Amino acid sequence: MSEVPPSRRDNSKLRFIDAMPRPLLVVFLVTGTVAVVAALVFIIQPPEFSTVPVQERRPPPRGTLTHDTGRIFPAPLPSAAPAVSAPCSALSTTVLKVGVSGAVRLREVLADVCRLAHGGVARELTTAIGGLKGVTIRFAVFQRAGVESTADFATRTIWLNIKFSRSNLAVEEVAPVIVHEGYHLAYIQDAVTAAQELGARRAEVAACRELISVDQWPRWCKDARALTDLPAARAVALLVSAGYPP
């Protein structure tokens, strides 16, 4: 019985890795390992990107607006405005120009503001609540993303970011934003300046402290605290650098 001769290796079908020079193979393997590790690190711990400086997170005024939101796209209104009673006499002339669910939600917000209208709070907060008399509050989409609100001196209207109409945001988080604009409206005869903006931030952070547990503060409360914790001259200088008139 004849023996079958051993098969001979077909060198024409050498794998790419076999044909690769050893030094190059080592570099190839090391590079691949580094790439995999880098990808895992990126997934497990994404890099922290630089953030917008705190003084620039509320844009400076433009025209009759307290904050430049770009174009304002008002939220649609129902054919018949919902009848909502004022939660207190201090806000009896405040108008809610919103839908039914928005009116119910904003009435809860204004009830929070009413709790602060009895005194014993920061001077800026009392001023801000006074500035809400005769004001109309509406929801809108802003061309500039990330802006919470603006007020129009020409129409005495506070425009709130449409996100505040949604139930996934706690109602107590909205009051400081309204208070902020109320402070500006209390000085409707004056142009918005860096000093006035600092006063609005003080009113805002005072409302945050009164209504929300510190460990649950939203970004705008933290931003207001970051600015108001600074010496006044330093805070005003930062706001001027962000475009607010001196």
- Please answer whether residues 66 and 191 qualify as being in contact, where contact means their C-beta atoms are separated by less than 8 angstroms: no
Q: Is the pLDDT of residue 124 over 80?
A: yes
Per-residue pLDDT reduced to its tens digit, 215-240: 999 999 999 999 999 999 999 999 99
Per-residue pLDDT reduced to its tens digit, 15-28: 444 445 555 444 44
103 within a domain of the structure (yes/no):
yes
Report the chain's C-alpha Rg in angstroms: 29
- Apex 231 CA angle, 228 and 235, nearest 5: 60
Q: Can you give the pTM of this predicted structure?
A: 0.79
> Looking at 23-32, 50-59, 199-208, 218-227, which range is the least confident one?
23-32
15 within a domain of the structure (yes/no):
no
130 within a domain of the structure (yes/no):
yes
d(Cα 125, Cα 219) in Å, to the nearest integer?
19
Mean pLDDT of the chain: 86
222 within a domain of the structure (yes/no):
yes
pLDDT given for residue 25 in this prediction? 45
65 within a domain of the structure (yes/no):
yes
Please list the residues that pair with 65 across neighbouring strands: 62, 152
**Model confidence band, residue 6 (pLDDT cutoffs 50, 70, 90):** low
35 within a domain of the structure (yes/no):
no
Q: Is the pLDDT of residue 45 over 60?
A: no
d(Cα 2, Cα 198) in Å, to the nearest integer?
101
Per-residue pLDDT reduced to its tens digit, 87-112: 999 999 999 999 999 999 999 999 99
Tokens 């460990």 -> residue: 215
Q: Is the pLDDT of residue 209 over 70?
A: yes
pLDDT given for residue 31 in this prediction? 47
pLDDT given for residue 58 in this prediction? 96
147 within a domain of the structure (yes/no):
yes
The DSSP-derived string for 49-76 is: PP---GGGSSPPPBTTBSS--SSEEEPP
196 within a domain of the structure (yes/no):
yes
Phi, psi dihedrals of residue 96, rounded to the nearest 5°: -105, 105
Domain count, the chain: 1
The residue range of the domain holding 118 is 60-241
